[in-house]
Amino acid sequence: MTTSNLIKFDDVPLNKFHLKMTGITFAAHFTDGFSLGVIGIALTVITPQMGLSPFWQGLIGSSALIGLFLGSLVLGWVSDYVGRQRIFMLNFVLIATATFFQFFVQTPEQLFLLRILIGIGLGGDYSVGHTMLAEFLPRKHRGAILGSFSVIWTFGYVAASFLGVYLQSTLADSWRWLLVSAFPLAMFVIFYRIGSPESPRWLLRQGRTEEAHAIVKKYLGPTVVLDDETVAQGTGKFIDLFSRKLIKRTLFNCIFFMCLVIPYFAIYTFLPDILKTMGLSENFSTNMLLNALLVVGAFCGIWWTIKFSRRGFLINSFIFLGISLLALGLLPPSAKTLMIITFAAFTLVMSAVSNLVGVFPAESFPTDVRSSGVGLATAASRLGAAVGTFLLPMSIANLGMSYTLLWLTGTLVVGTIVSIAWAPETKTLTLSEASTPDKPIHSA
């Protein structure tokens, strides 16, 4: 076999194996979105039944996000040491078990603890799922496919809202059936993940060269070679994320991710209550419009990820979102039509730019610490989202809607500044090149 016949790992055409790995990772992300989406609609029923205070509403609403913080941080780090595939399976065993037992809860404390366990599993899946797929995908399709995580996640999130509305009108104890409805989805993911291979990039960095080549040959073909196989065996440690080489990448991914998801989760977890407070809930179609725009925006995000630079898409979206949310906080209650239009535009762009949270972290870190880096960025984002979601009901009750929207706008301003300063351009680079911190920020 001549050198001219060899194909680099990052340039291999998409095949059935890529599509299978994409499919089982997408199915997991649909379940992730669904599991997080059910709690908002379920709380509208749980609150009067259990007599929940704003404190407990916020705590239960943010419980899975607290778990996500823990799972992303710990399981992402663990997978850099024990491998991607083991955590890839373990995540959903935990999710399925905790989801099933939600049906039997009797107290807010029990539900809170189970939701934390679900979040731990989801956090591990965010870290390892993104990493696993990124380490298999060719660069030509990596951005579009990783960005599509947001579409699938949004479908799951919105599907939970629609199912919740249906179950509310047809079943007693509808919230129990709604919360446990994610169980079959989790079992489906477990079944199809059985037998999935380890990441050859990770194996290579552990010095397990023969195993890495065997996986590449089996799933991608005998003419495919790992493009980073000359790199020495990895010695990456979690602390390396804060080294001089990686600190800017680490801070950028943690902060931009956090600044996007704080308003996302805070607003859309309590969307029915927010629309009611803003006087926009008289017509049920407003809620459905915004949920539909989350889906439309996610599709737009795929196209914009392909068409525009990563850096430009992120910065311009932050600016637009900040202006839109500021306008929502300042508009008078009488300007309902303008408020709906502004809220709709905000929702569309927020959903679209959320595609980048599946792209930037996976492309920003070297193989040795990629899962740790993705995990840390996800953990930071979910910690921020948990705090924002916990505080939102109390903020609305004590400060009012306008001031609540204004402090949420502040997070978008911070995201804008950090992105202008540190966002890299990774669109046309191989995974090895993209995760090299000394590449110029503006390189295309």
Round to the nearest angstrom and report the end-to-end CA distance of the chain: 34
> Sign of the C-alpha dihedral, residues 112, 117, 121, 123?
positive
> Sign of the C-alpha dihedral, residues 70, 73, 78, 79?
positive
Kindly give the residue spans of alpha helices, DSSP state H, lying in 280-335: 285-307, 310-330
Helix (H, G, I), strand (E, B) or coil at 196: coil
Shortest CA distance to 95 belongs to which of 43, 40, 32?
Answer: 32
Task: Say what the pLDDT of residue 207 is.
Answer: 81
Question: Which residues of the chain carry a pLDDT beneath 50?
Answer: 1, 229-234, 440-444
Shortest CA distance to 263 belongs to which of 218, 210, 326?
Answer: 326
Task: Say what the pLDDT of residue 444 is.
Answer: 37
Shortest CA distance to 305 belongs to which of 356, 367, 380, 242?
Answer: 356
| Residues 6 or more apart in contact with residue 8 via CB below 8 angstroms | 224, 225, 227, 430
What's the gap between Cα 65 and its chain centre? 11
**Residue owning tokens 């509808």:** 174
Task: Say what the pLDDT of residue 230 is.
Answer: 42
Task: Say what the pLDDT of residue 440 is.
Answer: 47
Task: Say what the pLDDT of residue 281 is.
Answer: 63
By DSSP bridging, strand 7-8 and strand 224-225 are: parallel
**Residue owning tokens 């205070």:** 53
The Cα-based distances of 232 to 206, 367, 432 in angstroms read 9, 11, 13
Shortest CA distance to 36 belongs to which of 152, 164, 156, 120?
Answer: 156
Domains and CATH numbers, the chain: 3-434 (1.20.1250.20)
Task: Say what the pLDDT of residue 167 is.
Answer: 75
Helix (H, G, I), strand (E, B) or coil at 213: helix
Task: Say what the pLDDT of residue 409 is.
Answer: 94
How many Cα atoms within 13 Å fall on the side-chain side of residue 48? 4
Please check whether residue 367 is in contact with residue 240, taking contact to mean a CB–CB distance below 8 angstroms.
no
Shortest CA distance to 18 belongs to which of 141, 127, 125?
Answer: 141
Task: Say what the pLDDT of residue 346 is.
Answer: 94
Task: Say what the pLDDT of residue 231 is.
Answer: 46
Please check whether residue 114 is in contact with residue 60, taking contact to mean a CB–CB distance below 8 angstroms.
no
Structure tokens at 440: 């110029």
